[in-house]
Amino acid sequence: GDVNCDKSVDVADAVLLARMVAEDSTAMITSQGKLNADCKKNGNLESDDVVRILQYIARLIDYSVLGTK
């Protein structure tokens, strides 16, 4: 969930991951950020991971569902 590795999960993480998924070449994510972003825990960064981050922000899912490692 913490894509930008700032020790919190917020909309900035969802936006950064969405930019990367959309192939924005200026979206830079560290290797730890990529591990954190894999909320579905399937080894791929995809729009479903963005959705999970947004669900967490909206308090629809618990932190344990996020891919933070």
pLDDT in tens, 20-67: 999 999 999 999 999 999 999 999 999 999 999 999 999 999 988 876
DSSP structure string for 1-69: --TT-SSS-SHHHHHHHHHHHTT-TT----HHHHHHH-TT-SS---HHHHHHHHHHHTTSS-GGGS---
Residue range 12-23: average pLDDT?
Answer: 98
* Cβ partners under 8 Å of residue 56, min gap 6: 1, 9, 62, 63, 65, 66
Considering the entire predicted model, what is its pTM? 0.92
* Residue 68, pLDDT score: 59
* Residue 67, pLDDT score: 62
Does residue 69 register a pLDDT over 90? no
